[in-house]
Amino acid sequence: MPLDPTKIWYVITGLAIGTFLIRYSFLGLLGNRELPTWFLRHLNYVGVAVLPGLIAPLILWPAATGGSPDLARILATLSAVAIGIWKNSVIGAVLLGFSTLYIVQFLTT
């Protein structure tokens, strides 16, 4: 399904301006203002709160298989999570994840 170009440009523009304002927030706009502790405490977890939920459906119900769970993708996920936690390595997680995916796909097709 092709994406609507108008929508793409809205997203690019909005994301560019919004991201810039986030980066400029304290340096340029708010100065040395203190933020409440509870706010900073929540801010600390935004990434871990958004990204796993974003990818969970992509892993369990991938569009490439028509939305049915796929053993290769699940095993690849588990191995990438394991190596990421264990070795603290971004590149390692990507490499092992894709290797697992290709090997299991090769063995099961």
Tell the smallest beta-carbon distance from residue 79 to other proteins (Å).
10
* Structural contact between residues 68 and 61, judged by C-beta atoms closer than 8 angstroms: yes
State the nearest-atom distance from the C-beta of 91 to other proteins, in Å.
6
Q: Between 48 and 107, name the residue whose CB sits nearer to other proteins.
A: 48
CB of 107 to other proteins, least distance (A): 14
The token pair at 107 is 């063995």
- For the chain, the straight-line distance linking the first and the last C-alpha, in angstroms and rounded, comes to 27
What single string gives the DSSP state of each residue in 7-56?
Answer: HHHHHHHHHHHHHHHHHHIIIIIITTPPPPHHHHHHHTTHHHHHHHHHHH
Q: State in angstroms the smallest separation of the CB of 90 from other proteins.
A: 4
Structure tokens at 14: 């909005």
The residues near 66 (Cβ < 8 Å, ≥ 6 apart) are none
